[in-house]
Amino acid sequence: MKRYKIGIIGTGMRTMFLVNEILKKNEFEIVALSDVSNKNMELLCSRYNLKLDKYTDYKELLSRKDIDAVIICSPDYYHEEQAIAALSLGKHVFLEKPIAITKEGALRVLKKRDESNKILIVGFVLRYNKLYKKMKELIQNGIIGELKTGWVLHSVGAASDWYFHDWHGTMKNTNGLLLQKGSHDFDIINWVVNSKLKKIVAFGSRDFFGGNKPDNLICEECKEKTICTEAIKPRYITWEKANGEKTNVHYNVWRNQCAFRNEIDVFDNHQVLLEYNNGVKVSYMECHYTPDDNREYIFIGTKGKLKLDDANNTITVQIRNNMYDRNENIVYKNLQENDGHGGGDEHILDAFIEAMNTGIQPEAGGEAGLKAMQAGILAYESIKKLKIINL
**Domain extents in the chain:** 4-124+344-364, 127-211+263-339+372-390
347, 362 Cβ separation under 8 angstroms: no
Average pLDDT over residues 125-150: 97
Share of the chain above pLDDT 90, in %: 88
The reported pLDDT for the residue numbered 364 is: 96
Query: ∠ CA 241-78-188 to the nearest 5 degrees?
Result: 65
- Numbers of helices and strands, H then E, in the chain: 12, 17
Residue 89 has pLDDT above 80, yes or no: yes
Tell me the sheet residues that pair with 314.
309, 333
What are the tens digits of pLDDT across the range 350-373?
A: 999 999 999 999 999 999 999 999
Share of the chain above pLDDT 70, in %: 100
The reported pLDDT for the residue numbered 237 is: 86
- Between 329 and 353, the higher pLDDT residue: 353
Residue 367 is classified by DSSP as H
State the fold for domain 4-124+344-364: Rossmann fold (3.40.50)
What are the tens digits of pLDDT across the range 1-56?
A: 799 999 999 999 899 999 999 999 999 999 999 999 999 999 999 999 999 999 99
Calpha distance 231→224 (Å, rounded): 8
Query: Which CATH number is correct for 127-211+263-339+372-390, 3.40.630.10, 3.30.360.10, 3.40.1190.20, 3.30.420.40?
Result: 3.30.360.10
Is 127-211+263-339+372-390 in the same CATH topology as 4-124+344-364?
no
- The pairing of beta strand 147-156 with beta strand 281-287: parallel
Residue 252 has pLDDT above 80, yes or no: no
Q: Which amino acid is at 108?
A: R
Dihedral over Cα of 8, 11, 14, 16: its sign: positive
364, 136 Cβ separation under 8 angstroms: no
